[in-house]
Amino acid sequence: MLQPIQALDLVLLFAVVLVSSYFLASYIVRIYTRKPSWLDSFFSPIENIIYRVSGVDQDRTMGWKEYFLSALLLNIVQMLIAFIILVFQSRLPLNPQHFSALSWDLAFNTVVSFATNTNLQHYAGEKTLSYFSQMTAIQFLQFTSAATGISCGVAMVRGFVTNSKGLGNFYVDFVRSLTRLYFPLCFVASIILVYLGVPQTLGGYSTVRTVEGATQSVLVGPVASLVSIMQLGTNGGGYYGANSAYPFQNPTPITNLAEIFLMLLIPTALTFVFGQMIGKRRESIPVVAGAYSLFAIDLIIAFIPNQVQVGPGIETRFGGFMSTFWTVVTTSVTTGSVNSNLSGMHPLAILSAFMGMMVQSIPGGKGVGLMYMIMYIIITIFIVGLMSGRTPEYLGMKITARDVKLVMLAFLIHPLIIIVPTVVAFASGAASAIGVSSSSIGYTQILYEFVSSAANNGSDFFGASANTLFFNVSTALVMFVGRYGPLACLLAISGSMIGRKRTSGSSSIRTDSLPFCVVLVASILLLVVLTFFPFLALGPILSYYQGHVNSFA
Amino acid sequence: MAEEKKERSEAESQLKSRKHSIARPVVGLALISLTACGLIFPLVITGIAQLFFPYQANGEIVQFDGRAIGSNLIGNNFTLPIFFHGRNQSQSASHVDPDITLQDAYSQIPRISLATGIPSTSLKQLVNENVEGTFWIFGSPYVNVLRLNLALIKEYPSIYNESLLK
């Protein structure tokens, strides 16, 4: 249970997040509506050079198919570049530790993982990747997958804007996401992180002799620049195998709070962006209310058990409270960074983490979380419409049978790509090959691996021990389908909204009302519980009733 | 006939330019983003960090007795009975946790006192002077093992210089 002062910590943190992201939201809206701004004199010349060099016609708008295919193709080319860098690592510069090249399957897993914003890591960065790889494969894809995600999110919103002509131009959105959003924010965040103790050097690992005469290696590198984008871009993949539990990645309780803030900032801002972009600010109400009431439920579940101050898997400087809180945040915004070892977590905290990854919009990863929330709103309107006998309408537009089919397809891809590989992992012996037992604990670990992959979250129990052909290839496929499948469906819905007739909407359901928010939250819970309950019952819930406290080790 | 041909060749060239318009932006943007995100950004940050915050940027290396003995942020493995010991590192998430809880530090006082002859009350005071981790309403208290031990050596130079020489 929470102590009053801990509850106060959370309230204060959220107040800061909500206020900052509210202001950031109007800036984000200006980026994507391309309103003239005093920043143009700085950014536009740079952007114009990029457009000219790459032959982008910045005034051309795209339909959903072209928008999606441009994003997919660009991502695939970026994966290819990063793949080449990883498999030729040993011949490339900035490798003072002389790390060898990655195997093809580990490189494949890694590039798909980072290009899909998942950041599942089957390697420990400090023992596997050169400085060059950390920069040009990992950080590179962290930036580009974040820019791709937020572009697609904004494109989906454009479909709902009155008199919209198209979903926008993907290349322009991608470039502006980087130049105007991620580079400035990450620049400030990196410098602050360095000041607070996160290293940023290319000088190689140093060896020191301790007071007692033993030798010790100090594993430094270009860490701060990576941490800034991994948190702001809801990527989550760390410089070190222990991720944000490693002191160089997260040195103090202050950096811990700062990194939680960075994770929540853009996803929360996007909930406000929705209402501002479609010109009806009140329509953000169900998005914000839906996301944060589910977040509250997540927190309550995770904080039912008593919080240990410091136990196995918990770092002393964070303690049980901030470790549990981090776990809830990182799975809610699908970042996937960890500041503890998940094996030290209580089954109920793991249950809460599963919830975050299964709903995917609490408030979810940047861009994609918002897309999922719009999906849930459409499902809810459809259900409410059926119950009350009214034509389902959203923002005055009729919801058609095709919309509902696409929404259900987007939703059902998820359980399919989780349960099939989970079963195959046990049936084929791949699970026991890496020492996973056929108990509620082992089942939870494997289920978590695939839920995390499908949700493009990336936190996991295994780390480098899952570096086997089976897990590298299977999770890579799950991550790929889990990212681009729903993206295609949701952009298709949005694309079909363009030019759709709008009624005045006097008879339709009011989506900005409190009753609708309540029904929305209930429908999301119902959908997710009905779909996933059998999986969860065999995993964390069974572990809880078997009396395990923190024995996911 | 001639017109038809012209129309066809126009349509063909349009088709060509459309094909071209997919490959060029994709390859162009992939290479530009690689350079900007993977090289320029981290290198600029490295430059600024090294210029303004060299101590933090290089891992907060601690100097003692004229040589580097470790990092403030990385658990230093103390084993002698005269020092405070870090956590059993197989129990932490990072395996290099640099800190211990106050209870842990207090529980080691009798051993250190026995080995060095320093009174328990002085040791307890030293622990309390080195508590960190709380600020305003946030955080819970802990001590950094390396800093605590260095404070110990600084406070009792005669005892420690003699023991370390042995």
d(CA A84, CA A107): 9
Q: Are A314 and A338 in contact (CB under 8 A)?
A: no
Query: What contacts B13, CB < 8 A, 6 or more positions away?
Result: none
Residues A226-249 have pLDDT tens digits of 999 999 999 999 999 999 999 999
Interval A267-275 mean pLDDT:
94
Q: Are A217 and A130 in contact (CB under 8 A)?
A: no
Q: Are the Cβ atoms of B64 and A246 closer than 8 angstroms? A: no
d(CA A390, CA A400): 13
User: Kind of pairing, strands A393-394 and A215-218?
Assistant: unpaired
> B86 and B32, same structural domain?
no
d(CA B93, CA A245): 6
Q: Are A65 and A495 in contact (CB under 8 A)?
A: yes
> B71 and B49, same structural domain?
no
* Closest residue, chain A, to B102 (C-alpha): A316
User: Kind of pairing, strands B99-100 and B142-144?
Assistant: antiparallel
pLDDT at A164 over 70: yes
Residue entry with tokens 């530009």: B32
A551 pLDDT band, cuts 50/70/90, is very low
B81 to chain A, any CB pair closer than 8 A? The answer is no
Question: What is the SS3 string spanning B50-81?
Answer: HHHCHHHHCCCEEEECCEEEEECCCCCCCCCC
A4 pLDDT band, cuts 50/70/90, is confident
Nearest to B45 among A5, A12, A200 (CB): A200
pLDDT at A309: 73
pLDDT at B2: 55
Interval A517-527 mean pLDDT:
93
Residues of B in contact with A143 (CB under 8 A): 33, 37, 41
> B161 and B85, same structural domain?
yes
Nearest to B53 among A81, A187, A195 (CB): A195
> B160 and B85, same structural domain?
yes
Q: Are A113 and A454 in contact (CB under 8 A)?
A: no
pLDDT at A12: 95
> B123 and B155, same structural domain?
yes
Amino acid (1-letter code) at residue A49:
I
Structure tokens at B2: 């001639």
Q: Are the Cβ atoms of B33 and A139 closer than 8 angstroms? A: no
Residues A291-335 have pLDDT tens digits of 999 999 999 999 888 777 778 889 999 998 999 999 999 999 888
Q: Are the Cβ atoms of A9 and B61 closer than 8 angstroms? A: no
Residues of A in contact with B84 (CB under 8 A): none
Q: What range does the domain containing B23 cover?
A: 2-54
The dihedral sign for the CA sequence A314, A320, A322, A327: positive
B88 to chain A, any CB pair closer than 8 A? The answer is no
> B122 and B80, same structural domain?
yes
pLDDT at A510 over 90: no
Residues of B in contact with A184 (CB under 8 A): none
Q: Are the Cβ atoms of B76 and A211 closer than 8 angstroms? A: yes
> B89 and B65, same structural domain?
yes
A205 to chain B, any CB pair closer than 8 A? The answer is no
Interface A-B, measured as beta-carbon pairs within 8 A, has a size of 237
pLDDT at A349 over 70: yes
Task: Examine residue B141 and say whether the peptide bond preceding it is cis (omega within 30 degrees of 0).
Answer: no
* Closest residue, chain B, to A169 (C-alpha): B25
pLDDT at A342: 86
Q: Are the Cβ atoms of B26 and A203 closer than 8 angstroms? A: no
Q: Are the Cβ atoms of B149 and A191 closer than 8 angstroms? A: no
A96 to chain B, any CB pair closer than 8 A? The answer is no
> B67 and B27, same structural domain?
no
Interval A167-182 mean pLDDT:
97
How many residues are present in chain A?
553
Within the 13-52 window of chain B, which residues sit less than 8 Å (CB to CB) from chain A? 20-22, 24-34, 36-39, 41-42, 44-46, 48-50
How remote is the C-alpha of A436 from its chain's centroid?
A: 26
A70 to chain B, any CB pair closer than 8 A? The answer is yes
Number of domains in chain B: 2
pLDDT beneath 50: ranges in chain B: none
Within the 293-312 window of chain A, which residues sit less than 8 Å (CB to CB) from chain B? 309-312
B114 to chain A, any CB pair closer than 8 A? The answer is no
pLDDT at A193: 98
Position with higher pLDDT, A544 vs A508: A544
| DSSP bridge pairs for B62 | B70
A199 to chain B, any CB pair closer than 8 A? The answer is yes
Within the 323-362 window of chain A, which residues sit less than 8 Å (CB to CB) from chain B? 338-341, 344
A15 to chain B, any CB pair closer than 8 A? The answer is no
Q: Are the Cβ atoms of B58 and A199 closer than 8 angstroms? A: yes
Residues of A in contact with B38 (CB under 8 A): 135-137, 139-140
Q: Choose one of B15, B34, B54: the last residue of a domain.
A: B54
Q: Choose one of B39, B54, B69: the last residue of a domain.
A: B54
Nearest to A81 among B30, B75, B93 (CB): B30
Structure tokens at B72: 């403030």
Q: Are the Cβ atoms of A211 and B29 closer than 8 angstroms? A: no
Residues of B in contact with A210 (CB under 8 A): 69-70, 76-78
Structure tokens at A329: 């945040």
In this predicted complex, what is the ipTM? 0.94
Interval A30-55 mean pLDDT:
94
Burial A266-282 (b: 16+ CB within 10 A, else e): bbbbbbbbbbbbbebee
